[in-house]
Homo-oligomer: A and B are copies of this chain.
Amino acid sequence: MTKSLTHITKVTVRFSECDALRMVWHGNYVKYFEDGREAFGKEYNLEYMDIFRKTGLAIPLVHIECDFKKMVGIGETIYVETTLVDNPAAKIIFNYTIYNDRKELVCKGKTIQVFLDTEKKELMITVPPFFEDWKIKYLK
């Protein structure tokens, strides 16, 4: 069975995140996904810089996708539901669902990250030990 773990982050849309149509500029959803991912990492002990310092591994994104369903405007509050989906590969896969105050779907997205050995400058092809340990602790 595939396990998953979810965190919900509340975000208030900034004036400067809205474009000439007075709606959130689409590129800012990538930031909201990051807000979700960082809040997830804080709650479940999976933080970028922390991992980098301990293991020398960077975890760059190799794929992002987003489907926009409903626009949101200045000052609105949105909720980013960030879900880590278990998978056997040397990857971290997150799904995102953003909805508004009225529980309407705003957008759905997905990111895939890989593990980069910054010393050897090589992608890791097997799951790094720290992440195996993390999965045992948080997903089993």
Contacts and interface: CB of A to CB of B under 8 A. Distances in A.
Interface of A: 12, 14-16, 18-23, 25-27, 30-31, 34-35, 38, 42, 47-49, 58, 60-68, 71, 73-75, 118
B34 A14 contact: yes
A65 B61 CA distance: 12
Given A26-B61, A38-B75, A60-B68, 13 more contacts: A15-B34, A15-B49, A19-B19, A20-B22, A23-B60, A26-B60, A27-B27, A49-B74, A49-B75, A61-B68, A63-B68, A64-B65, A65-B65
Given A26-B30, A34-B27, A68-B61, A19 B18 contact: yes
14 contacts: A16-B19, A16-B34, A18-B20, A19-B20, A21-B58, A21-B60, A26-B64, A30-B30, A38-B75, A42-B75, A62-B67, A63-B66, A64-B64, A65-B65
